[in-house]
Amino acid sequence: MSPDLSTKSIMRRGNFWTDKFRGIKCSAELLLLAIPGLYIYQIIERCFMSIFEIIMLVCFGAAWPVSIYKSLKSRSVKGKSLFFLLIVLAGYGAGILHKIFFLYDGVIILYLVNFCMISVDVMLYFRYKVTETEV
């Protein structure tokens, strides 16, 4: 008997894979589980998509400490865009909400770290923008 994967069912129960395979790690056992069920695409997606997501978040996250350091060192926000910072902050917020409601896994930590770093950068923006306008 195959599980009900209709949109209505998923919305009612949450994400199928988080319900069905909660706690199962990527391993040979999981791939063997896929053979009889013919859900290999979803299982491969669950195992490997987080790796690419992690790489993306680490690469994006590497830029924020540099940006914060430059703001602290120069005490200036010239060249920074508050609009850009807020858009990126909203994007990370959406990623966090997605992880909480649909696919909760350890990658949420990277989203939270990046969200915090951008929040610090936004606070520095307001701090140094005020001092720049006074001078």
pLDDT digits (tens, 9 = 90+) for 92-107: 999 999 989 988 888 8
Q: What is the b/e burial string over 31-46, where b = at least 16 CB atoms within 10 angstroms of the residue's CB?
A: eebbeeeebeebbeeb
* pLDDT tens per residue across span 36-84: 554 555 555 566 667 888 888 899 999 999 999 999 998 888 889 999 9
Tell me how far apart the alpha carbons of residues 73 and 115 are, in angstroms, rounded to a whole number: 21
Per-residue confidence (pLDDT) for residue 120, from 0 to 100: 95
> Does position 7 have pLDDT exceeding 60, yes or no?
no
Q: State in Å, rounded, how far the first CA of the chain is from the last one.
A: 72
Tell me how far apart the alpha carbons of residues 132 and 80 are, in angstroms, rounded to a whole number: 13
For the ranges 43-52, 111-120, 121-130, which has the lowest average pLDDT? 43-52
Per-residue confidence (pLDDT) for residue 28, from 0 to 100: 45
Q: What count of Cα atoms within 13 Å lies in the side-chain half-sphere of residue 63?
A: 8
Banded pLDDT at 11 (limits 50, 70, 90): very low
- Read off the pLDDT of each residue in 23-39 and give the average, rounded to a whole number: 49
What percent of the chain clears pLDDT 90, i.e. is strictly above it? 36
Least Cα distance to 103 among 111, 29, 37, 56 occurs for: 111
